[in-house]
Amino acid sequence: MIFAERFETRQVFIVGFAVLLAVIVNDYFSFSHAAWMVVGALIVAQLARGAPLRQSLIYCVVMLVFAILLPPYVIDATRNRLIDIGMGALIGVLFQQILFPMKIYPAFRVGVLPILRLLQNDLQREIYFFSHQLSKQIYLQQSSERMIALLQSDSLYPEWVYAVGFNPGLRAGFRFFLIQLESIVEIFFSLHALIGAVSDAIDLDVISSEIGVVLKNNEYLFGTLIDHLSECKSQKTNNSIDLTGDIVALENALEQCVPVSLELLTIAPSAMILIAIVRDLKDLREILLRLIESSMGNDAL
């Protein structure tokens, strides 16, 4: 499975087959009697991931037409080289985008699903922490290990979405998803730092129950997004979930336990930490809803 998903492995086979066919065709149909056809196939077979087929074919056709329409006084050797390069480029396009096209959407899912599952697991640990089923020390240790694993995750992360040659028609949607996903990762790092900065567990007890409800709803949204991207349903649909009332209840609980005056906030760092935690949870909810809406609105994802 992973072997087939590796772009580098796939690319080696495609380039190898394209060059092999170019060598065979070059022996029988070369105009320049040189290796220019092989050079064209080698270059074009290494197109960026997600490069549009139309763009590649246009380049090949323009090169061939240009070579054919060159004026008579142009040296024949130049014309023949251009024709060979154009034919080699067509061979590269044949293997890269027609015979063995890259499946953009499955490759993108394979890249983002492990990150989403890792974040969902970390969110479950936060639920255990705020419900007093997990100590602060154990939570911080496990969370640190998961964050390190996230930073050292496999190279399947679809950074190729940011490549220059990526399909312009798909670029905006895929980049939007990755930008939002990176924002979620930043929120998790922020929550980890804020929980670690709390010196007294009582500071969290005042709103821990409301935070737990918000976290459980966010965890449900994570599951919904993962189910959609993985094209399988692992959790039951909860039509009774309230995605606005829990945030309102959390804000009301926060207002009752933090000073109203800005002067008092400056001497109450624990209150500032609570405010920051609530802000991160609200931002996380907003981003998750945005991602679910965008991914479900795109049938390809």
| Mean per-residue pLDDT of the chain | 79
CB 153 within 8 A of CB 114: yes
What is residue 146's predicted lDDT score, i.e. its pLDDT?
A: 76
Helix axes 245-257, 208-230, angle to 10 degrees: 150
CA separation for the pair 247, 45 (Å, rounded)? 52
Q: Span 218-229, mean pLDDT? A: 91
Higher-pLDDT residue of 135, 67: 135
User: Over the stretch 23-39, which tens digit does the pLDDT of each residue have?
Assistant: 888 888 888 777 878 88
Confidence of residue 267 (pLDDT cuts 50, 70, 90): low
Structure tokens of 88? 């080699």
Structural domains in the chain, sorted by start: 2-99 (no CATH), 104-297 (1.20.58)
87 pLDDT higher than 50: yes
CA separation for the pair 197, 82 (Å, rounded)? 66
Q: Span 118-144, mean pLDDT? A: 84
Q: Which residue has the tokens 């969290």?
A: 204
Which residues does 4 contact at the CB level (< 8 Å), separation at least 6? 10
The b/e string for 39-56 (b: 16+ C-beta within 10 A; e otherwise) is bbbbebbebebbbbeeeb
Structure tokens of 257? 């336990």
52 pLDDT higher than 70: no
296 pLDDT higher than 60: yes
